[in-house]
Structure 1
Amino acid sequence: MPATYNTDGAEDPDLYAQLMTERYGPLRLILAERNRPAPPRQARANLTPDPRAAEHRHQLLEALNNRPQPDPEPAA
């Protein structure tokens, strides 16, 4: 792709390029965004769920419920 917007077939190529730059910004920024690397993705989904997930959830809930709670402040 050339370093300018495609002005082929435009009645006034300079005006067309100016309008496109005003509307969408400089072409180099658009190309940089298009060519930006994508964030890393997980290669494979976790196809086998944790067989002990229920046990771990129960342990977590027990630990949360056994945590000391601060005394509520009396209403003034």
Structure 2
Amino acid sequence: MVRPCPIRPSTTWCSGCGRRTGIAFDPHWCRHTAATRALRDGVPIEVVSKLLGHSSVTTTSAVYIWASRMPGGH
């Protein structure tokens, strides 16, 4: 069974790194990058949706549909 990664620990870690380095970083950047790459590589949207913890594939489609329209997208 696939379980979504809990967001709170990564958010806390990134916030601390940002304060120490002065570089603003949001863990959602990694999340969006991973989801976009997976979809562009042909991973079914149902699988990506489940990995992201979305309650509906419609949510995933609404956020990531542009990924399939980019050059190299499927």
Q: TM-score, normalised by structure 1?
A: 0.25
| Higher gyration radius (CA) | 1
Q: Relative contact order, CA 8 A, sep 6+: which one is greater?
A: 2
Q: TM-score, normalised by structure 2?
A: 0.26
The structure that is helix-richer by fraction is 2
